[in-house]
Structure 1
Amino acid sequence: MTAERDTAESEALVGGMANAGAVFRRGPLVERPAPPTARALHAHLLSLREQGFDAAPKPVRLTANDREQLTFIPGDVALPPFPRWVMTETALRSVGNLLRRLHDASSAIPVDTCVAWTLSLADPAGGTMLCHNDVCPDNVVFRDGRAAGLIDFDLAAPGRAVWDVAMTARYWVPMLDPTSAAALYPTALDTPTRLRILADSYGLSPLERAELPSVIEQATAICRAFVADRVANDDPVYTKALFESSGWQRWDRIQGWLTAQHDVFTTALSK
């Protein structure tokens, strides 16, 4: 999120969808609505730091009015339509590196199975590691053209590493047909090459690389269901976004394109 002056003491942080207009920076802290899993997430974020991952906010406290305070991560966050600087190959490699660092730390932390983790974008196969599930450009903080911080763990849930890579690829490659991509991303991005760069920079195993195109298709279907659920429940933000982007026709086009390009992506990942 980017900062917009609110008062002499605070700034409204601009960006995101679910919490738009409700996130503020106050000096070294960010105050935002606390997700239902806030207590468990705060414990997880502290454990990440113990494992050497310092690129996520440090939780400070929960307030009496269902909000949370975390440390502010300085840097730049790209908002749509995404500028070319955030879609360079250097930026993409740094995102893959950052996600791998997160997973290396997270895999050493036992998942609290007593927590009702948010399953909206979770890996349907489950897993023993807490995945972020929403590593989109809006949630990555850059410094000097490289990914340096990761924010907004609200949708974190147990899953597989390849699932989190697939969700990340959807936004950062991006895994969109050319018409859909043109609305938000710079032109002339080489999708197969960028998918391979993300897999290489993360360090996906040969088995995970073989799985990735199918997992991306599955993740896209989960994201569509996520939007459909919110539209069915009359969420004004998602309803407006859906119909401003040609409605379900866009999702049909994306899913059809992914299926048609499956073998192209498989070949690119095997090189």
Structure 2
Amino acid sequence: MDAEPLAGGLANAGAVWRRGAAVERPAPAHAQALHGFLTALRAGGFAGAPVPVGPVADGRERLEFLPGEVALLPYPAWALTTDALVSVARLLRSWHDASARTPFDPAADWPQDFADPEGGELLCHNDACAENVVFRAGAAAALIDFDYAAPGRPVWDVAMTLRYWAPMLDPATAAQTARDHLPALPRLSLFADAYGLSPADRTALPTALEQTTAACRAFVARRVESGDPGFLRVFASYGGWPRWDRIQTWLSEQRPHLERALRT
């Protein structure tokens, strides 16, 4: 069967293919534990994630292809609407609720790149960026790409997701992807409401946003230091470390406003 290349993020650029009803992609180190979890998740009634359709072979995994639309750069207008944002929040909450009911192997080799340093009792996605959310009829319907899934707290996964979808970026950085017109703080509040974020997690979220941003910066640093050509290209085109300094400074300065937005 002819293979169709699938576009997406940087980590597996050019290495993800669709063959009929299956997606073939590089298998992460935790593939066996992840596949068991995804299978149990579906058996428990959660349809918003693919299931494995074959064993890992030659370092590649085969997962169910989930039809729909995925927002790639330049982001289409429909992906930046408040309706899309609300649907992502609700999908993430459904994932967390289902994940909390589904056992996973805590001793597996879960990646630490984006993992919650405090750990947790459910499996977080940790990379629910636009490229990893499948939309149908304008609403978020499924999550894909679990390369960075790891145990953690729901608020950590919420913070990771908000970084991409609010987005939690200073205006100059948001303008680099034509998202500077999106009001970050109202969208943050809307996401928290749609997710049903608890009072305790609303209090913890500003700190989690700073921590997840630092974790993402450290991840980029490792990729740049290793000479990864895709990351080097994007890193240079977006302005290098001054961009990250700007984001972190903005988050710190916005903290009182974040706290106020989350209270209201």
TM-score range, shorter chain: over 0.9
Identity %: 55
Contact 1:83 1:185 in 2 (8 A): no
Q: Which residue of 2 aligns with 1:106?
A: 99
- 1:159 & 1:192 partners in 2: Cα distance? 25
Residue 165 of structure 1 is aligned with which of 158, 162, 173?
Answer: 158
**Which whole-Å CA distance do the structure 1 matches of 2:34 and 2:178 have between them?**
31
Which has the larger displacement, 157-166 or 21-30? 21-30
Correspondence for 1:180: 173
The 2-side partners of 1:51 and 1:45 are apart by 10
Q: Is 1:192 aligned with 2:185?
A: yes
Match of 2:142 among 129, 145, 149: 149
Structure 1 position 60 matched with structure 2 position 53: yes
Partner Cα distance (2:35, 2:224) in 1: 30
TM-score, normalisation: structure 2: 0.97
What are the ranges of 5 or more consecutive residues in structure 1 without an aligned counterpart? 1-7
Cα distance in 2 between the residues matched to 1:186 and 1:120: 26
- Kindly indicate whether residue 63 of structure 2 is the aligned counterpart of residue 70 of structure 1: yes
Q: Helix, strand or coil for the counterpart of 1:90?
A: helix
Q: CA deviation at 1:191?
A: 0.8
Structure 1 distance, partners of 2:178, 2:80, is: 8
User: Secondary structure in 2 aligned to 1:119?
Assistant: coil
| In structure 2, C-alpha distance between the alignment counterparts of 1:114 and 1:63, rounded to whole Å | 20
What SS is found at the alignment partner of 2:6?
A: strand
Pairs aligned (count): 264
Distance apart, 1:235 and its partner CA: 1.6
Q: Distance in 2 between matches of 1:217 and 1:187?
A: 20
Q: Is residue 241 of structure 2 the alignment partner of residue 248 of structure 1?
A: yes
Partner of residue 90, structure 2? 97
Q: Following superposition of structure 1 onto structure 2, how do residues 1-271 of structure 1 map, counting pairs within 5 Å?
A: 9-271=2-264
Mapped to 2, the partners of 1:51 and 1:197 lie a distance apart of: 29
Is the contact between residue 111 and residue 128 of structure 1 (CA under 8 Å) also seen in structure 2?
Answer: no
Moved over 3 A (4+): none
Aligned residue type for 2:63: L
Residue 261 of structure 1 aligns to which amino acid in structure 2? Q
User: For each residue in 1:211-241, what CA deviation from the matched residue of structure 2 results, as whole angstroms up to 9, or x when unmatched?
Assistant: 1111101110010001111111222221221
TM-score by length of 1: 0.95
Letter aligned with residue 149 of structure 2: A
